[in-house]
Amino acid sequence: MGCTRMRTIDKVSMIHVFGLDKEEDQLVGTALYPKYTKSKDSDNIQLIKEKAPAGNLFYEKLDKHTDTPIKLAKIRVIVLGKKYAESGIGDMVERFIINPELGTSIQLAVSEHSAESVLKKFSKGDSLNLIDIIQHNMTRQYLPKTNLHVFLNHFYGQGMDAYIPVISIDDQMKMMVKGIGIFKDDKLKLMLNEEQTLIFSTLKNKRGEGSLKMDVEHRGKKGTIITRGHKSSQKWEIKKSNLNHPELNLTLKLRWTVSQYPEWIQLSNEKENELLKQLIEAEVKKRVDGLLVTLKEKEVDPLGIGNIVRSKMRVWNEKKFYEKYPSLPINVKVHLEIINSGLNV
């Protein structure tokens, strides 16, 4: 049975990572697939590249470069070059990504560089672990949980905008996750940095383990606090006194650990325990407020605030809501519980 399976695998070229860029009026597709050989147990990674006017034409064009039929069923990551993502990906979603051969658990990502350069970086190694890098940052770091299923729900859903991870190549030519990219309709509109992404994840997820560094000041004393996320919950409420001009309340409850705090805070003193908590709550509120301002100024809604308002109103008009969205009042309250920090708080 094992030998039969290997022979079957040998007869097809299973694409694992696919990249998309745009050059003038042509799409550029770059694909990575493992070439299985009898002499090696490890994968021999192959790269192929083609141009096409539309996404659904890539299959037959890529097939010309391989000695076995191209299959998409094993694609784990689709990488979009930044310039292509900014130009609009609607046609690609319709013609390529919505494909019964592709599973909805695959990851989409946008690259600060061209998708081709990212795939070339991986083709020089012996691993196709881009999916592992992205998923590690979702489970152990600061990325919000997302995949193709989540992307499509936000892409087509009312009152929300789609978002995907942003990847880049650092100065040492290593792959890294840098934040998230947010779309308005089918165009990349905004890229959040690591800190903004961590705050965004706190507003989207129930769990997240990213670390947050904050510089604080109290009565002329300055210091640094470092926290690590554990659990969070979000409660959105709409003030129903005027549904034509809604005002929202957001209550954010956090259970975080603290790994560093200023020397001038004496945790043996109960009042200073409370001071530490208040300093963190104030700083988190400041960053949440800042993120909300950025999202509203750029007129993107990855948090699905429009959908939240829609769910609480009998009559809701998407166009009218987003005309008022940049000036929508959102009152943020943060409640922190410090846990398992070793600080006896």
User: Are 14 and 101 found together in one domain?
Assistant: yes
Looking at 166, 192, 218, which one is the last position of a domain? Answer: 192
Task: Say yes or no to pLDDT of 241 above 60.
Answer: no
pLDDT at res. 304: 97
Looking at 192, 221, 254, which one is the last position of a domain? Answer: 192
User: Are 309 and 168 found together in one domain?
Assistant: no
* Mean of pLDDT values over 156-185: 91
Gyration radius of the chain over CA positions? 23
Task: Say yes or no to pLDDT of 6 above 50.
Answer: no
Query: Which residue did the predictor score with more confidence, 99 or 144?
Result: 144
What residue numbers bound the domain in which 44 lies?
A: 2-192
What gap in Å lies between CA 258 and CA 67, rounded to an integer? Answer: 56
- When pLDDT is cut at 50, 70 and 90, the band that residue 135 belongs to is confident
The answer to whether 75 and 102 have CB atoms below 8 angstroms apart is yes
Q: Average pLDDT, whole number, for the chain?
A: 85
Q: Is residue 277 part of a domain?
A: yes
pLDDT at res. 109: 96
- When pLDDT is cut at 50, 70 and 90, the band that residue 267 belongs to is confident
The answer to whether 20 and 12 have CB atoms below 8 angstroms apart is no
Task: Say yes or no to pLDDT of 51 above 90.
Answer: no
Q: Is residue 197 part of a domain?
A: no
Query: Nearest-CA neighbor of 303 among 328, 334, 323?
Result: 328
- What is the separation, in whole angstroms, between the first and last Cα of the chain? 58
- When pLDDT is cut at 50, 70 and 90, the band that residue 255 belongs to is very high
Q: How many CB atoms lie within 10 A of CB 223?
A: 16
pLDDT at res. 141: 65
pLDDT at res. 1: 43
Task: Say yes or no to pLDDT of 82 above 50.
Answer: yes
* Mean of pLDDT values over 38-59: 69
Q: How many CB atoms lie within 10 A of CB 29?
A: 26
User: Are 182 and 216 found together in one domain?
Assistant: no
Query: Nearest-CA neighbor of 166 among 178, 175, 174, 154?
Result: 178
pLDDT at res. 62: 72
Task: Say yes or no to pLDDT of 41 above 60.
Answer: no
Task: Say yes or no to pLDDT of 131 above 50.
Answer: yes
Query: Which residue did the predictor score with more confidence, 345 or 138?
Result: 138
Task: Say yes or no to pLDDT of 334 above 90.
Answer: yes
User: Are 117 and 149 found together in one domain?
Assistant: yes
Check which CATH number belongs to the domain holding 224 and give it: 3.30.300.210
Task: Say yes or no to pLDDT of 108 above 60.
Answer: yes
State how far Cα 153 lies from the chain centre.
Answer: 14
User: Are 211 and 154 found together in one domain?
Assistant: no
- When pLDDT is cut at 50, 70 and 90, the band that residue 341 belongs to is low
pTM of the model: 0.88
User: Are 99 and 130 found together in one domain?
Assistant: yes
* Mean of pLDDT values over 159-177: 88
The answer to whether 322 and 306 have CB atoms below 8 angstroms apart is yes
Domain total of the chain: 2
Mark residue 342 as left, alpha or beta (left: phi above 0; alpha: psi -120 to 50; beta: remaining): left
Query: Which residue did the predictor score with more confidence, 44 or 37?
Result: 44
Structure tokens at 25: 């009026």
Q: Is residue 74 part of a domain?
A: yes
User: Are 128 and 222 found together in one domain?
Assistant: no
User: Are 234 and 107 found together in one domain?
Assistant: no
